[in-house]
Structure 1
Amino acid sequence: MPFRTTRPLRFGDCDPSGIAYFPSYLNILVGVLEEFFGSVGAPWKELVGERRIGTPTVRLDLTFVHPGFHGDTLDFALFVRRIGRSSLDLKHRVSAGGTLLWSARHSVVATSLDTHKSLAWPDDLRAGIEKYLETSDA
């Protein structure tokens, strides 16, 4: 089961013609990732501020299929494809009104914010993330 959430495509996310400006999608995606980590028991305020764990992106491959327009409700489906010792491979599918707008393959790594080196996912985070682990090619 993927993690699901929605976001509005706002005026400030679009170019003058009303079509989504692609860098805005990445900013929105950061908020979706933050919400995902909150859903697995690791709100970023705690993860970053107290536990000193970062989740930098190390790979992001996007494929755009259809344009998004100002006023669309973006439906995000985040699939956990693989969880490694410190890495996490995700797939995102973003649609509006049932039409796929874009998809992405996304890899993040757990790092110490003090040493900036990778670290193993803590057991509680790993358990929360594994609830979303997918085995099919969604």
Structure 2
Amino acid sequence: MAFKTTRPLRFGDCDPSGIAYFPSYLNILVGVLEDYFASLGFPWRRLIDDRRIGVPTVRLDLTFMKPGLQGDELEFVLVVRGIGRSSLDLEHQVSANGQVLWTAKHRVVATSLDNNQSYAWPDDIRAALTSHLEMPDAHHPAT
């Protein structure tokens, strides 16, 4: 089950020509990931403050197809592709006006904020993530 959300591409996210400045995409993507965890019932504030779990990015591979323009409504689709002991493999597709702008393969890892070491996903979080796991198939190839 994919997580879907939208974000506006604002003036401050763009270079002087009105084209999305790619580091802004990464900042927006972090917000989408934060919203995804909140949708599962695990807002980052609770993960960080109460459970002392961090979710840093350890790998991110982006492919840009078309430029995003100031004022575009960005449509984000996040898909869970794999869950390891502490890792989580995601795929993102970002579109505007019916056209794919960019895709990403993204790995995050659960870490203990007390010692900055990888941390096995707790059972409740693992169960929520697993309920969203999608395997690639011929109709929906991996990005």
TM class by shorter-chain length? over 0.9
Once the 2 structures are TM-superposed, how far is the Cα of residue 99 of structure 1 from its aligned partner?
Answer: 0.3
Q: TM-score normalised to the size of structure 1?
A: 0.98
Instruction: Show the counterpart of 2:61.
Output: 61
The CA RMSD measured in Å over matched residues stands at 0.7
Q: TM-score normalised to the size of structure 2?
A: 0.94
* SS class of match (1:38): helix
Instruction: Show the counterpart of 1:52.
Output: 52
* Structure 1 consecutive aligned stretches of length 4 or more whose deviation exceeds 3 Å: none
* SS class of match (1:35): helix
Instruction: Show the counterpart of 1:6.
Output: 6
1:100-125 deviations in Å (ceiling 9; x for gaps):
00000000000000011111101111
Q: Which runs of 5+ in 1 are unaligned?
A: none
Moved more, 16-25 or 125-134: 125-134
1:75-130 deviations in Å (ceiling 9; x for gaps):
00001000011000000000001100000000000000001111110111111111
Structure-to-structure mapping, 1:1-138, within 5 angstroms: 1-136=1-136, 137-138=141-142
Percent identity over the alignment is 69
Query: Aligned AA for 2:34?
Result: E
How many residues matched? 138
Query: Aligned AA for 1:97?
Result: N
